[in-house]
């Protein structure tokens, strides 16, 4: 029981890191770009894909067709929070970061799932 408490405590001590990640279909080259306030939630995204409940139906369809082995997950950038800036808005900074990657990768239409 003490080991379980210790592991829970260690998990809670892990810093929550916001950022932008991509899911890439290595068969057809399509990518999906998304931001999250907690990059640990990528495991939850994998869970939704494995359980056929992901919100992006095109990505879900390809996941079902090609299988999880055909996809890779990559963190594109992490958000560096400015603790000294009283006006720092994490959500706005994260959305700007996501937009930067959408502009750069253009994951639309035949190139992606966004």
* Average pLDDT of the segment spanning 30-58: 96
Domain edges within the chain:
2-109
Distance CA 84, CA 37 (A): 19
**Please, which pLDDT band fits residue 16 given cuts at 50, 70 and 90?**
confident
Q: pTM for this structure?
A: 0.83
- Tens digit of each residue's pLDDT (9 = 90 or more) over 73-114: 999 999 987 767 778 888 999 999 999 999 999 999 999 999
Distance CA 107, CA 46 (A): 19
Distance CA 59, CA 57 (A): 5
Distance CA 42, CA 32 (A): 13
The CATH number given to 2-109 is 3.40.1440.10
């Amino acid at each position: 029981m003490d080991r379980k408490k210790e592991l829970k405590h260690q998990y809670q001590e892990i810093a929550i890191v916001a950022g932008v990640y991509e899911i890439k279909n290595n068969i057809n080259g399509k990518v999906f770009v998304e931001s999250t306030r907690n990059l640990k939630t990528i495991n939850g995204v994998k869970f939704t894909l494995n359980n056929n409940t992901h919100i992006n139906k095109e990505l879900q369809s390809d996941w079902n067709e090609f299988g999880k082995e055909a996809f890779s997950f990559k963190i594109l950038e992490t958000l560096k929070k400015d603790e000294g800036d009283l006006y720092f808005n994490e959500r706005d900074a994260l959305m700007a970061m996501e937009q930067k990657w959408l502009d750069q990768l253009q994951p639309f239409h035949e190139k992606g799932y966004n």
